[in-house]
Amino acid sequence: MTGLADRVRQGDGRAVARLISEVERGAPEALADLERLYRHSGNARVIGLTGPPGAGKSTLVGRLMAEYRSRGHRVAVLAVDPSSRKTGGALLGDRVRMGQSADDVDTFVRSLASHAELGGLSAVVRPAIRVLDAAGYDRILIETVGVGQNEVAVADAVDCTLLVSIPGAGDGLQTLKAGVFEIGDVHVVNKADREGADKTRREIRAMLGRLPRDADAERPAVVLTCAETGEGVAELADAVERHLALGQASGALEQRRLDQLRQETVDLVVLTVMRRVLPQGGGALTGRALADLATRGRSPAALAEELVNSLAMGHTQERREA
Amino acid sequence: MTGLADRVRQGDGRAVARLISEVERGAPEALADLERLYRHSGNARVIGLTGPPGAGKSTLVGRLMAEYRSRGHRVAVLAVDPSSRKTGGALLGDRVRMGQSADDVDTFVRSLASHAELGGLSAVVRPAIRVLDAAGYDRILIETVGVGQNEVAVADAVDCTLLVSIPGAGDGLQTLKAGVFEIGDVHVVNKADREGADKTRREIRAMLGRLPRDADAERPAVVLTCAETGEGVAELADAVERHLALGQASGALEQRRLDQLRQETVDLVVLTVMRRVLPQGGGALTGRALADLATRGRSPAALAEELVNSLAMGHTQERREA
């Protein structure tokens, strides 16, 4: 194991930050480090928070981090912003405001920009989770701005998804994209000091009642919080821990993780194949192959067969050149 | 070349029907025949008709078939029904009603059911087009029911797309899924004997005027037809032929076909890879690989690399077994 991976294993925050950056850049040694660290991952519990802008997710994440710290956990936070390269300043501000020392070696805060690349959001988040996991952070909070398919992508990478809304959001919930409401393992009504919090909780419970579910499955909890004051945050952490404990006891957590790993493998196969076959970067689908297509000298089926068969060789070539 | 492919080349309608059926079933000899016929394809002009249910597409297709026959073309019609296995009875009825003999060896009518499979609609339509093309039908009409992404999928397989609407559809056009209105190379307002046909034509022209386009590109024609009486059908065929002739002269047709072939190749690569990697049918992502994932003995990235590298070998194996 190289020095950097070793330092990550020892929980060195600077090494963690550096390795995540290098993995983001796709540096080959960093990817090798990531592979070496992989077998040391799988211990952390990963909690995703998603919801519309303005729901107070950043403040809530700050509070949850403090709550978990007070319970003796080592806590890491990833803020995923699919639209822009956020500096993480807001989050760091929250952390300081809540009396956390920036030098606390048992917390780690970082923002991740999701490049609109092949592979999508989870391709960026998963490696970062594994680095943090191998570094010994045992609670990892992922904050994401709910836009389009991002919520679902993050749900595919975590053990427990918190769906955050605010009082009066009931109608909005009903118009959520199909499949988004269903990903909530725990529901949060934040800013619960505002009027209508109880009504929104009832509406969420009614919607949950209409979802199909296994007879023995517990309904997701709906927790009221006021992140500004910290009210309800301990109850929220309790609800998350209960969901995780039940999942561990029933085997649902293990199954969920296995499903995620299998899906990730399939995604990576397609991603690898597309990278090697697509024209950009001098892929195989150029030059003579295109000319053959144009003259109908070769059919797409024949060419596709050839390309698939050349993948293994192409790979060996890459290796040798690297 | 086997007997069946030979008979297809000679324009034998029964052989054409049989080969299309066998290609649909994925019979290996049929796929080999398809490959042999491939270099004899590329001569036909392929025209797609799409639009909402009730726009009179089937009747219009019947009229266009008769018009093209009267101009000396050999005409084939494929009716694509993504939702159900249509018998083609309606179309055959239209053909008879319009005075076409069911024994006319220069026309061919068939329905295709689109199975909601990997690869989608175009994976079903393209091989059928090639069989018809190699059989010497020089105008191929593809009728599809406009549902979701099907219009766009068919546009990816044809030389000219007719977007069919009816009087009063103007508002509906504006709510078409993004990207659907844009695929129309020729616009048709059918049932033009109804009130509002001219207004709908004006609305379509206004929408066309707002689309971005190359400075030298001609705006798509908007043709009024009444398929029941046959009015406007000759003008519609003229507009289609003009679009095809302009495309041939400018090179746009050739470029469009090359883009389609390239995209088809990429689709087939992914399809092939997914078929070999996915668990169903004893794919590689089962058994020990899954157990390794579960115990974190292998990472998804390591497993994906292995799977991609095994693709070529897996293929050889398949061949030998076939």
Of A41, A272, A309, the CB nearest to B312: A309
Q: Quick one: B58 and B203 in the same domain?
A: yes
Report the 10 Å Cβ neighbour count for B87: 11
In this complex, do B312 and A312 lie within 8 Å of one another by their Cβ atoms? yes
Model pLDDT, residue B149? 58
What pLDDT does B178 receive?
59
Longest dimension (CA), chain B: 71
Q: Which residue has the higher pLDDT, A73 or B103?
A: A73
Task: Evaluate whether A172 touches A165 at the Cβ level (below 8 Å).
Answer: yes
Query: How far apart, in whole angstroms, are the C-alpha atoms of residue A92 and residue A109?
Result: 7
Report yes or no on A161 lying in a domain. Answer: yes
pLDDT at A41 over 80: yes
pLDDT value of residue B84: 45
User: Is residue A25 included in any domain, yes or no?
Assistant: no
Is residue A123 over pLDDT 90? no
Q: Which two tokens stand for residue B101?
A: 């003999």
| In the predicted structure, residue A221 carries a pLDDT above the cut 80 | yes
pLDDT for res A132: 96
How close is the nearest chain A Cα to the Cα of B262, in Å?
7
State the Cα–Cα distance between residues B70 and A69, nearest whole angstrom: 82
Q: What is the mean pLDDT of chain B?
A: 81
User: C-alpha angle A102/A104/A106, rounded to 5°?
Assistant: 135
Same domain, B46 and B35: no
Q: How confident is the model at residue A314 (pLDDT cuts 50, 70, 90)?
A: low
Identify which of A36-50, A259-273, B269-283 has the greatest average pLDDT: A36-50
A142 with A242, same domain?
yes
State percent of chain B over pLDDT 70: 77
> Which of A122, A275, A299 should be substituted to probe chain B, the one whose Cβ sees the most B Cβ atoms within 10 Å?
A299
Nearest to B294 by CA among A36, A265, A185, A241: A265
Q: How many CA atoms lie within 13 A of A182 on its CB side?
A: 9
Residue type, B167: P
Same domain for B87 and B35? no
Pair B18, B57 in one domain: no
- Closest Cα partner for A220 from A141, A156, A146, A161? A161
pLDDT tens for B89-103 read 444 444 444 445 556
Q: Cβ contacts (< 8 Å) between A41 and chain B: which residues? A: 296
pLDDT on residue A102: 60
In a domain, B121, yes or no: yes
Which residue on chain B is closest to A285 by alpha carbon?
Answer: B262
The secondary element (H helix, E strand) that includes residue B6 is: helix B3-9
**Residue B41 forms contact with A (CB below 8 Å):** yes
Measured on CA atoms in the order A15, A16, A18, A23, is the torsion positive or negative?
Answer: positive
Query: Do the domain assignments include residue B263?
Result: no
Looking at the partner chain, which of B258, B272, B313 has a beta carbon nearest the beta carbon of A304?
A: B272
- Does residue B221 have a pLDDT over 60? yes
Given pLDDT bands bounded at 50, 70 and 90, which one contains residue A320? very low
Distance from CA of B299 to the nearest CA of A (A): 7
Examine the pLDDT at A2 and tell me if it is beyond 50.
Answer: yes
Mean pLDDT of chain A: 81
Answer whether residue B67 shows pLDDT above 60. Answer: yes
Residue ending a domain, among B211, B234, B251, is: B251
Question: B312: burial class by Cβ within 10 Å (0-12, 13-18, 19+)?
Answer: middle
Q: Is B292 on the interface with A (CB under 8 A)?
A: no
B133 versus B180: which is more confidently predicted? B133
**Mean pLDDT calculated for residue range A316-320:** 40
* Model confidence pLDDT, tens digit, residues A79-88: 886 554 434 4
Question: In whole angstroms, what is the distance from residue B220 CA to residue B161 CA?
Answer: 10
Average pLDDT of span B209-232: 89
The predicted model gives B16-34 an average pLDDT of: 89
Query: Do both A155 and A303 map to the same domain?
Result: no
Of A35, A297, A315, the CB nearest to B301: A35
Structure tokens at A222: 């709906």
Q: Residue A228 pLDDT > 90, yes or no?
A: yes
Q: Which two tokens stand for residue B297?
A: 């003995």
Cβ within 8 Å, pair A272-B304: yes
The string of pLDDT tens digits covering residues A53-66 is 788 998 999 999 99
- Report yes or no: A294 at the B interface, CB cutoff 8 Å: yes
State the Cα–Cα distance between residues B183 and B185, nearest whole angstrom.
6
> Residue B44 has what pLDDT?
97
Judge if B8 and B96 occupy the same domain: no
Contact criterion met (CB below 8 Å) for A53 and A133: no
Residues of B in contact with A300 (CB under 8 A): 261, 264-265, 268
Instruction: Yes or no: say if A46 and A38 are a contact pair by the CB < 8 Å rule.
Output: no
B294 within a domain of the structure (yes/no)? yes
Evaluate whether residue B238 is within a structural domain: yes
What is residue A87's predicted lDDT score, i.e. its pLDDT?
A: 44
Q: Which residues contact A90 (CB under 8 A, 6 or more apart)?
A: A58
Q: Which residue has the higher pLDDT, B10 or A214?
A: B10
Higher-pLDDT residue of A9, A85 = A9
Compute the count of residue pairs across chains A and B with CB atoms less than 8 Å apart.
127
The number of residues in chain A equals 322
Average pLDDT over residues A231-257: 96
Instruction: Check pLDDT > 50 for residue A99.
Output: no
CATH of the domain at A158: 3.40.50.300
- Residue B254 in contact with partner chain A when CB distance is under 8 A: yes
pLDDT score at A252: 93
Closest CA to A104 of A72, A145, A61: A72
B227 vs A266, residue with greater confidence: B227
pLDDT band of residue A90 (cuts 50, 70, 90) is very low
Query: At A95, is the secondary structure helix, strand, or coil?
Result: helix
For residue B142, give the H/E element and its range: strand B139-145
CA distances from B80 to B52, B119, B125, B126 (A): 13, 15, 8, 12
Q: What is the pLDDT of residues A272-285, one digit of tens each?
A: 787 777 655 445 56
- CB of B102 within 8 Å of a chain A CB? The answer is no
Please tell me the predicted confidence (pLDDT) of residue A175: 57
| Angle between helix B233-250 and helix B57-70 axes, rounded to 10 deg | 70
Which of A146-160, B70-84, B189-203 reaches the highest mean pLDDT? B189-203
Q: Is the pLDDT of residue B322 over 50?
A: no
Instruction: Identify whether residues A236 and A285 lie together within a single domain.
Output: no
Tell me if B257 is assigned to some domain: no
Q: Rounded mean pLDDT of A215-243?
A: 94
B19 and B161 inside one domain: no
Task: Give the bridge partners for B162, in sequence order.
Answer: B49, B186
Residue A15 clears pLDDT 90, i.e. is over it: yes
pLDDT band at A300 (very low <50, low <70, confident <90, very high): confident
Q: What's the average model confidence in pLDDT over A207-219?
A: 81
> Which residue in B81, B91, B160 sits closest to B124, CA to CA?
B81
Quote the pLDDT of residue B316.
39
Q: What share of chain A has pLDDT > 90, as a percent?
A: 43
- Reported as a pLDDT band with limits 50, 70 and 90, residue A145 is low
CA–CA separation, B311 and A310 (whole Å) = 9
Give pTM, 2 decimals: 0.67
ipTM: 0.73
**Residue B98: what are its φ and ψ, rounded to 5°?**
-85, 10
**What would the pLDDT profile of B247-271 be if each residue is shown by its tens digit?**
999 999 999 998 888 888 888 887 7
pLDDT in tens, B275-320: 777 655 445 566 777 788 888 888 888 888 888 877 755 543 443 3
- In this structure, are B211 and B314 located in the same domain? no
Enclosing domain of residue B13: 1-40
Kindly state whether residues A182 and A86 are assigned to the same domain.
yes
Residue B71 in any domain: the answer is yes
Could you give the number of structural domains in chain B?
3
Nearest to B146 by CA among B78, B47, B51, B59: B51
Q: How confident is the model at residue A257 (pLDDT cuts 50, 70, 90)?
A: very high
> What is the pLDDT, as a whole number, of residue A171?
63
Token reading at B48: 């797609």
Cβ(B201)–Cβ(B164) below 8 Å: no
* Judgement on whether residues B125 and B24 belong to the same structural domain of the protein: no
Chain A's closest residue to B315, CA to CA, is A309
Higher model confidence: residue B91 or residue B175?
B175
A202 pLDDT band (50/70/90 cuts)? very high
